[in-house]
Amino acid sequence: MALSESSRPRGSILVTGSNRGLGLGWVEAYARLGWRVFATCRDPDSADVLQQLAETEDNVSLHRLDVTSGAQLRQLQRELTDRPIDVLINNAGVYFERWGQDPVGSIDFEAWDETLRTNVLGPMRVSEALLPNVAASTQRLIVTITSHMGSIADITSPRDYAYRSSKAALNAAMVGLSHEVKPQGVGVLLLHPGWVRTRMGGDSAPITVEKSLTGMRTLVDTFNLEQSGQFLRFDGSAMPW
Ligand SMILES: NC(=O)c1ccc[n+]([C@@H]2O[C@H](COP(=O)([O-])OP(=O)(O)OC[C@H]3O[C@@H](n4cnc5c(N)ncnc54)[C@H](OP(=O)(O)O)[C@@H]3O)[C@@H](O)[C@H]2O)c1
């Protein structure tokens, strides 16, 4: 018999880039369920919604983390010493429309470099640093928010070199990580959230944060280690590589 939401065991979750969009959706959903939520973002001072949540809810705390910063990650490690993290959500990511428009001849390689540092090295840096916290938890799951644009099989149009290559590289790195951490009982799941109405997804995106989150939370709830390394849409269907 399936457990109702309120009777499911509560754990702890850490979310990167959680001040808006999907990241904020993860924080709000798990805070409501009574989980211990470590909400991280680049600029806590301007994260009004997170600040209010952290002030009013005992189970939510706010932490500074730019995923490209080794120094901030070391500080976070100190703040979270001996704190288990059941579910680590690598959510932070960048995509700038302009970069998508750059044809060969005018590619902004510095912007591409920043995309790779944020979208690929960032989640790997965070996963490596917080692996002991995840391994010490009950659920032991690393979820990485990738994109259908990281699917090489899906590339049927030009451009978007930076974002596409970043998510494809992220997928490759995370599958490798899944093999490395499986002996510790830690799982890795790659999720495409759908085309979602956020600042990144834009106003014409057909899917709400709530709908995407409902789907992804079901995948987190029902995850078992045999699924580790899979690349799934928010509705659970398999993504082509
Ligand atoms: N929306 C979609 O349709 C869609 C589709 C496929 C995949 N995704 C993926 O879903 C994830 C969330 O996207 P979203 O739609 O919620 O986008 P969003 O509204 O633009 O939010 C992106 C978040 O990432 C944070 N961020 C960017 N660089 C960071 C860094 N160096 N360190 C820490 N945080 C950083 C941003 O923080 P600041 O506020 O400080 O900039 C913001 O909180 C991303 O990985 C994205 O690639 C989204």
Query: How does pLDDT run across 12-66, given as a tens digit for each residue?
Result: 999 999 999 999 999 999 999 999 999 999 999 999 999 999 999 999 999 999 9
Residue 6 has pLDDT above 60, yes or no: no
Q: Tell me which DSSP letter residue 137 carries.
A: S
> Is the confidence at residue 7, as pLDDT, over 70?
no
Cβ of residue 43 lying under 6 Å from some atom of ligand 1: yes
- The runs of H, that is alpha helices, within 63-207 are 70-79, 97-101, 109-116, 122-135, 161-181
Q: At residue 1, does pLDDT exceed 50?
A: no
Q: Where are the beta strands (DSSP E) in the chain?
A: 12-15, 36-41, 60-64, 87-90, 141-145, 187-192, 231-233
Strand-pairing partners, residue 14, are: 38, 88
| Domains located in the chain, CATH noted | 5-233 (3.40.50.720)
Q: Is 30 a catalytic residue?
A: no
Q: How many whole angstroms from 5 Cα to the centroid of ligand 1?
A: 27
CA of 200 to the centre of ligand 1 (A): 7
Per-residue model confidence (pLDDT) at position 98: 62
Nearest CA to ligand 1 atom 1: 201
